[in-house]
Structure 1
Amino acid sequence: MNFQMIDDTSKAFSPLITRRGLIALAAAAPMFGSGDALGQNPSDATCHLADGRRLGYRIYGSLKDFPVLYFHGTPGSRLEAALLAPFCNANGVCLIAVDRPGIGMSTFSQRHSHVSWPSDIARLMDLLTQSTSFDRFGVLAMSGGTSFALACTAVLSKRITATAIISPRTPGAPGVPKGVLDNALQQAAAYPRLAEGVLRRQIRRSQRHPNVMPSQFKKFAAVDRNYIQRNGTALRQVIAEASRHGTQGIVHDMSLMRWPWQICLPRIDVPVGLWIGNCDYSAPPETLRFLHRNIPRSQATTVLGEGHFSIIDKAVASAAIWLKSNSAAK
């Protein structure tokens, strides 16, 4: 399958760096609106790590299919994979969605970083290999999961066949303009306690007023606002699970999203597929160009007419097929 770069003229937004930015980020977290709840009932499990922590994960699909580790967005949790699983399962891919430290069922760690994360995932791979027929894995990431997926791809190249990233995010990277929420990420990194409090209040507010969409969403493309309205209930459940033990893990996760990462992108020797919508105002088009330029074996696709969230319905099936084709090539 061949991919090509398609230039677009998406507008990059630059909100002011103020406390209002934090509120904007918190407002985006609950994903308000009406919609069907998460309809699947896959199995949850935990992996016990060497330092005593637990790593929570959920399996979507048949263990006979090709295994793909799923790294959720930020804020997000393993429940997010329910929105992508139908496209993956229909194409022979079993998703294994992992909660990062401090999120969902995973134990918080202040030491969580791009350096430590591959070790956690390697332990999970060992566990899955022992209990299933899994040997090598694909990786699929969404948005804020970008850097965590690439960290594992760089370190675990002998066990990862390929990595696919939907709506990649590189906030603060050289030459990449700010997206609609990037200033809020900067504020969260600078004032984590404040960010934790703002998120807690906003999540409670979303539970009281589930059908109210904040004004900040006006900055998103119409296709994204429509997607949020259709899937609002499911997305609220994703965030509720992410904050199961508080918001500390979410805010720490946010701080790791911003460039610089502790990853040497040019040394990645695994195929990396990138999909972005030309109506994505969270990830400017320069995001795709930055990653494509710095990752040697990357392939980039711009999906016309799609945004940061709506692209799920258009690109995930292609990503699943691409991941499976690369597994066969190994």
Structure 2
Amino acid sequence: MVVSEPESISLPDGRTLAFATYGDPDGAPLVFHHGTPGSSHLGALLSAPARTRGVRVIAPSRPGYGRSDPDPDGSFETWAEDCRALVDALGLESVAVAGFSGGGPYALAAAAHHADRVSDVGVVGAPVPAHDGGPFAPLVRFPRLLGVAFRFGAVVARLRGDRFVVDQLTDRTVDDETARIVGRDFRAGLSAGPSGAVRESRALATDRSPPLPDGDVTVWHGVDDENAPIGPVRTAYEDHPVVTLCEINDDHLGTLCSVRDDVIGLAE
């Protein structure tokens, strides 16, 4: 695995945005959005195919995750501005964007608001507005309780290890390196507290979603995905000619592992 030292930029409002780089440091750029909760560490899952195919994966930790400062008023739109600031700071003219799970809508927002800077976009296992909100849906109206739930989940993950985290995302058997990456991603995402996860969980549980980009969008979704069931995804995209829905015979994390090469291909 080729990974940069953790890096960060200062955003226009003074917040810090942390990110990591994987794959080919001189390759075609792909901005990869982690899930909810999560961190820049999840980008390591794309490291091997990115290195092989000459792609530079830039994986930011969104506000409130890992080393990125929280943004209490953050939204899909404000993230689009943060993402553009990152692209500008790195001196990139154009990037592809991708998002996994709860990061999918944030990738779509970046592409929709800054079409002039985004060459291609894809999402994997991403929820849509009709989604039931996931395991913490009953708590989204109670931010403090939701925060307690995430803190408890972080403690359990530390005690029970990487495989416990993986088991929440897939029924498949994954290799030790994948389990290590996924476990580290979850722990890092909640290391500074649950503010990012609480804010995003509440946003993802509403009926509001970011607009779709004008250009083509590729959606990879597992037919066995229990974290974000495919039924609402089919309904949400059936009348959108710009969307190509690729149904994968896998579950939530399993789908991401299955389509890593395709995600990397967005940048080529």
* Alignment of structure 1 residues 127-146 onto 2, 5 Å: 127-129=89-91, 134-146=92-104
* Alignment of structure 1 residues 102-251 onto 2, 5 Å: 102-129=64-91, 134-170=92-128, 172-173=129-130, 178=132, 182=133, 184-210=135-161, 213=164, 217=168, 222-223=171-172, 226-227=173-174, 231-251=178-198
1:93 corresponds to: 55
Which protein has greater RCO, CA pairs closer than 8 Å, 6+ apart?
Answer: 1
Report the TM-score when normalising by structure 2. 0.90
Cα distance in 1 for residues equivalent to 2:244 and 2:163: 39
Letter paired with 1:110: P
Q: Offset of 1:109 from its aligned partner?
A: 1.1
Q: How many residues align?
A: 267
CA contact (8 A) 1:101 1:107 kept: yes
Q: Offset of 1:205 from its aligned partner?
A: 2.6
Q: Offset of 1:143 from its aligned partner?
A: 0.7
Report the TM-score when normalising by structure 1. 0.74
Q: Offset of 1:236 from its aligned partner?
A: 2.0
2:46 corresponds to: 84
SS at 1:275 equivalent: strand
CA contact (8 A) 2:162 2:183 kept: no
SS at 1:187 equivalent: helix
Q: Offset of 1:110 from its aligned partner?
A: 0.7
SS at 2:259 equivalent: helix
Kindly tell me: are residues 316 and 183 of structure 1, through their superposed partners in 2, closer, same or farther at Cα, counting changes over 3 Å? closer
Cα distance in 1 for residues equivalent to 2:143 and 2:109: 23
Bigger Rg, which one: 1
CA contact (8 A) 1:272 1:297 kept: yes
Cα distance in 2 for residues equivalent to 1:211 and 1:53: 30
1:298 corresponds to: 243
Cα distance in 1 for residues equivalent to 2:151 and 2:52: 37
Kindly tell me: are residues 72 and 316 of structure 1, through their superposed partners in 2, closer, same or farther at Cα, counting changes over 3 Å? same
Of 208, 211, 228, which residue of structure 2 is paired with 1:283?
228
Letter paired with 1:206: A
Of 250, 257, 261, which residue of structure 2 is paired with 1:317?
261
Cα distance in 2 for residues equivalent to 1:78 and 1:151: 18
Gaps of at least 5 residues in structure 2 are none
CA contact (8 A) 1:188 1:254 kept: no
Cα distance in 1 for residues equivalent to 2:53 and 2:43: 15
* Alignment of structure 1 residues 16-95 onto 2, 5 Å: 40-95=2-57
Kindly tell me: are residues 42 and 209 of structure 1, through their superposed partners in 2, closer, same or farther at Cα, counting changes over 3 Å? same
Measured against aligned partners, the alpha-carbon deviations of 1:147-199 in whole angstroms (never above 9, x if no partner) come to: 111111110001001101111211x42xx5x4xxx353423421111121222
